[in-house]
Amino acid sequence: MADHDLLIGLRALAYARQVRGDSKLVLSPDPLSFELSESPNEFDGNAVQGLVLEPHENAPFEVQSLAKRRYKSRIEAFCDGTRSTYFVGYESDLPIVYTRNASVVRTRDKRTGYHTSMLNIQRHQSMLLAPFAQFMQSICLAYEQLKLYSNRLADLCWTGLEEEGYAPKPSEMETMGNLAWQRRARRRARHLLDLSEQITSITGAQLLREQDPTGHSWLLKDGSLFQFKREYLRQAEPLRNIVSCVKTHPVSFFGAEGERQLRQLEIGERSVAFLPRPTRESQKRYALRETDRQMVSWYVRVRQANQHDANHMSGIIRLDIAAVDDWRDWIDEVSWAVLDEFYGISALPDPRYDVMPYGIYDCEQALKARQIPGDLLLAQLR
């Protein structure tokens, strides 16, 4: 359902119930999106340990120069997504949250250098999030009939997401307050964006493989491969030509000593490849073959550090690829291809320009240009 249709339907439901004397649905939209007020790393943990994979598993963590370039890899497409999430009102004191997300795959014209949509590969989604299972049955049915609730992902009481770290019991949900439900809504909104980016990036990567069976054409995606469902990471092959770019580093995979080594990275150098393991897997000392997340990561410096930036990892990104059989053959070549994206054209004036490839910046700007500002969008509810 389109953004305006969803909100118009919610307003119509509130008006119809008010006419009948039912004032339990209260609309009081806040045009400030959750994303503007939350910490960028709010959902990241801090107890993850890396397992070095080269030259062999459990080798020491260190940095090294990139191998001489063989020009086997090039970035042919880019994928990124955006999301915005707003509080819009209450249903019997239970919060209702509106979220929208969009993702797109774009490519660069080899002749002109301009970026355009790749065969219109994009996805737009909007949804109301609420603890629908706690609504009265008749009220919940009204939401369903108006198509305001048509997907179990919209129900914050549903706990079937494998990536949702904490699943409260029904008895605990009965005592959850407004802020607790809003926190669940934020997590759910992020998950929905992850799904959108997963769909569009896999579609774009498959198209690249069909156009170039040699495997030299890669899709550069914003964010970590951790966003993908485990079934894709276990199979690895569907993600063969996707490289993910991680711009922030809230988790220190190799402790203070690892950070010290990374700060000394020069352009043209990278860290050794490693497996980023969640707490449970690191405690059990899982090897690469034992983990559900078959992925390989490494750090590479793409720009000189900004001496005036409090972030001592400025100019350094982490790259993730699927652990396909020949992953060792691609690390250096993919690193060179990603480095190309930081020279010739810049993401300035974006403050993240030191770690933002221009192709990712272009995707983000293209999506935002088509998005109605939150204050205008939510004006329909006032």
272, HSE (Cβ side, Cα atoms, 13 Å) = 19
Tokens of 303: 């720009």
pLDDT at 285: 86
* pLDDT tens per residue across all 382 residues of the chain: 566 789 999 999 999 999 999 999 999 999 999 988 765 544 444 444 899 999 999 999 999 999 999 999 999 999 999 999 999 999 999 999 999 999 999 999 989 989 999 999 999 999 999 999 999 999 999 999 999 999 999 999 998 875 545 678 888 899 999 999 999 999 999 999 999 999 999 999 999 999 999 999 999 999 999 889 888 888 888 999 999 999 999 888 998 899 999 999 999 999 999 999 887 788 788 888 998 889 999 999 999 988 777 778 999 999 999 999 999 999 999 999 999 999 888 888 888 999 999 999 999 999 999 999 999 999 989 8
CA–CA separation, 184 and 176 (whole Å):
11
Give the closest residue to 293 by CA, choosing from 48, 106, 18: 48
What letters, b where the CB count within 10 A reaches 16 and e where it falls short, cover 152-181? Answer: ebbbbbbeeeeeeeeebeeeebeebeeebb
Domain-by-domain residue ranges, the chain? 34-124+198-372
CA–CA separation, 170 and 135 (whole Å):
14
**Helix/strand/coil for 221:** strand
Direct distance between the N- and C-terminal alpha carbons of the chain, in angstroms, rounded to an integer: 20
Q: In the chain, count H helices and then E strands.
A: 11, 12
pLDDT at 36: 81
**pTM of the entire structure?**
0.92
The neighbouring-strand residues paired with 81 are: 103
pLDDT at 46: 46
For residue 345, what is the DSSP state? Answer: S
pLDDT at 44: 46
Backbone angles phi, psi at 267, to 5 degrees: -60, 130
> Which residues, 6+ apart, have CB-to-CB distance to 235 below 8 Å?
294
- Which residue, chain included where needed, has tokens 């790393």? 41
Length of the chain measured in residues: 382
